[in-house]
Amino acid sequence: MADSISKTLILFVLFLLCCSNSHASSDVPFIVTHKKVNLNRLKSGAETVSVTIDIYNQGSSTAYDVSLLDDSWPNDAFNVISDSISKSWEKLDAGGILSHTFDLEVKTKGVFSSKPAVVKFRVPTKAALQEAYSTPILPLDVLADRTPEKKLEWFNIPNLRVGTLDSLLSLSDDLAKSNNFMEGVSHKIRRQIEELERVSGGDSGGLTVDGVPVDSYLTRFVWDEAKYPTFNIPNLRVGTLDSLLSLSDDLAKSNNFMEGVSHKIRRQIEELERVSGGDSGGLTVDGVPVDSYLTRFVWDEAKYPTVSPLKEIVDGIHGQVAKIEDDLKVRVSEYNNIRSQLNAINRKQTGSLAVRDLSNLVKPEDIVTSEHLTTLLAIVSKYSQKDWLSSYETLTSYVVPRSSKKLFEDNEYALYTVTLFNRDADNFRTSAREKGFQIRDFEFSPETHESRKQELEKLVQDQESLRGSLLQWCYTSYGEVFSSWMHFCAVRLFTESILRYGLPPSFLASVLAPSTKAEKKVRSILEGLSDSTNRQVAY
């Protein structure tokens, strides 16, 4: 991750007034050029220079054929790594802004001074091209040896969120009382220790805090990240105000989308684990639990270079999450298709006798088939079995006496066989239907029965295989989506904070972990604090 090793060098711009020599007309462009430079030191020790040039037209007419050239970066000292040192536009309307950014890699150590960038443009009332210049940047000491800051033996206070003057005044009223209360409690405990030690003849001079003497703890005080975790946001590339405003409009929708995808994957994991009797409590991101990842969040510089424009980072994150969501839909659809086929087969095997598959209820010895005889299967209401047994032999003339046998019974119906002559089968069906008995069409085939059995076993194996692979994919993808979402949140916090509090970036991002019952209330409070009329909190 690239750590900014110097504050942004904001150079106020000198400008040329492009107007007629005779000053006959004031209806001309008024060009102001603003050039700023960021110097960044990478972990590898290399340095990059990010140059942003903003061109403003504060006049009352349009400038045409606008071109920018900043050729003050010698090739032997710098290497262009993104975009170019020149740019052209068709026009710049009155009151409009044009912006161009390019990045350089530093090749040579030393102090460097740059010439002004040149802006050329055309005015309809002038034949010659007009020119405007930016001021040169302040001298840059590139690849210089940086002496680490020497930590003073003072009481170290972290860079906490300042908030508004009203919030500070409101807080100040309670700080003195709270301080007196906590000081009083510490004195009470110390006096109690002294009294107990005096009784035992000991000495209370060995009081410690976190295992070190009190005076050493005070002079070496370090903010406890474990108790009061912060969400670490790197020094991202700010860009122009227009780019931040444009990006801000889409951040809320994109955040809802990524949050929704992470919840979809989590619910899918819970459903798959519930089917197998497992537990989805072991969700991880980059190999660590979710809460640990949040409190120890580190920006992934390799995946999302901090020198990239914010829009490019956001689009990259959104694209990755969208691709994972599409993959999730395909995998879940394939898994649900297998489940639907199994459910359809199970319904046929476990439903009512009036509609279910009978092949697993009928055995070969239950069926009599010959040149003249056939066996039919009758579905008889549970409460009409006596009527069936007393009447089936008389429904037609050619029924084999005492040939009916009950094969199965459920909550509504019973399954009976009856053997009769082939030539009388149709008459028997008609007479049975008139009496309220249903004759099911059935042809016993060992081959068909075995084929259905093998199909069912294959579907069960396919479902289990797909369930396992989908579950593994969901665990992996959840970590990827959650990590992408947190990087997106970092960009969103950075953007919203710049828009709220301005430059340079100076804010504290914290992690809150409310209980499930309190989550709704906490969200409501945060939303109230972050509305358009309150500048204390960016949520």
Q: What is the pLDDT of residue 325?
A: 93
Q: What is the pLDDT of residue 149?
A: 46
Q: What is the pLDDT of residues 92-151, one digit of tens each?
A: 888 788 999 999 898 888 888 788 889 999 888 888 888 888 866 777 788 777 654 444
Burial of 161 (0-12, 13-18, 19+ CB in 10 A): middle
- Which of 23-27, 428-432, 494-498 bottoms out in mean pLDDT, i.e. has the lowest? 23-27
Stretch 260-275: mean pLDDT: 88
- Which of 495, 529, 502, 503 is CA-nearest to residue 166? 529
Tell which phi-psi region holds residue 348, choosing left (phi > 0), alpha (psi between -120 and 50) or beta: alpha
> Does residue 21 have a pLDDT over 70?
no
With contact defined as beta carbons under 8 Å apart, do 393 and 422 qualify?
no
CA distances from residue 256 to 54, 109, 150, 262, 321 in whole angstroms, order as listed? 33, 46, 44, 10, 12
- Which of 190-194, 218-222, 302-306, 458-462 bottoms out in mean pLDDT, i.e. has the lowest? 218-222
Q: What is the pLDDT of residue 4?
A: 35
How far is CA 417 from its chain centroid?
A: 62
Tokens of 7: 């504050």
Residue 118 CA to residue 135 CA, distance in Å, equals 10
- Which of 81, 70, 79 is CA-nearest to residue 33? 70
Q: What is the pLDDT of residue 86?
A: 92
Q: Is the peptide bond before 446 cis (omega within 30 degrees of 0)?
A: no
CA distances from residue 151 to 210, 220, 515 in whole angstroms, order as listed? 20, 9, 38
Sorted by where each starts, the structural domains of the chain and their CATH numbers stand as 23-142 (2.60.40.10), 223-347+479-505 (1.20.1460.10), 364-443 (3.30.70.100), 509-538 (no CATH)
How far is CA 108 from its chain centroid?
A: 41
Q: What is the pLDDT of residues 359-407, one digit of tens each?
A: 777 887 888 888 888 889 898 988 889 999 999 988 988 899 988 999 8
> Does residue 77 have a pLDDT over 60?
yes
Average pLDDT over the chain, rounded to an integer: 78
> Does residue 300 have a pLDDT over 60?
yes
Q: pLDDT category, 8, cuts 50, 70, 90?
A: very low
pLDDT higher at 481 or 212: 481
Q: What is the pLDDT of residue 36?
A: 84
Stretch 509-517: mean pLDDT: 77
> Does residue 497 have a pLDDT over 60?
yes
> Does residue 7 have a pLDDT over 50?
no
How far is CA 13 from its chain centroid?
A: 41
**pTM reported for the whole predicted model:** 0.48
Stretch 314-320: mean pLDDT: 91
Bridge partners, residue 67, by sequence: 88, 120
**What is the amino acid identity at position 130?**
Q
Residue 13 CA to residue 116 CA, distance in Å, equals 10
Question: What single-letter DSSP state applies at residue 190?
Answer: H
Q: What is the pLDDT of residues 197-210, one digit of tens each?
A: 777 776 656 677 76
- Which of 97, 114, 106 is CA-nearest to residue 31? 97
- Name residue, tokens 């199965």: 408
Stretch 146-171: mean pLDDT: 56
* Residues with Cβ within 8 Å of residue 524, at least 6 apart in sequence: none
> Does residue 280 have a pLDDT over 80?
no
pLDDT higher at 458 or 448: 458
Burial of 170 (0-12, 13-18, 19+ CB in 10 A): exposed
> Does residue 58 have a pLDDT over 90?
no
> Does residue 168 have a pLDDT over 70?
no
Q: What is the pLDDT of residue 531?
A: 56
Reported residue count of the chain is 539
Q: What is the pLDDT of residue 113?
A: 79
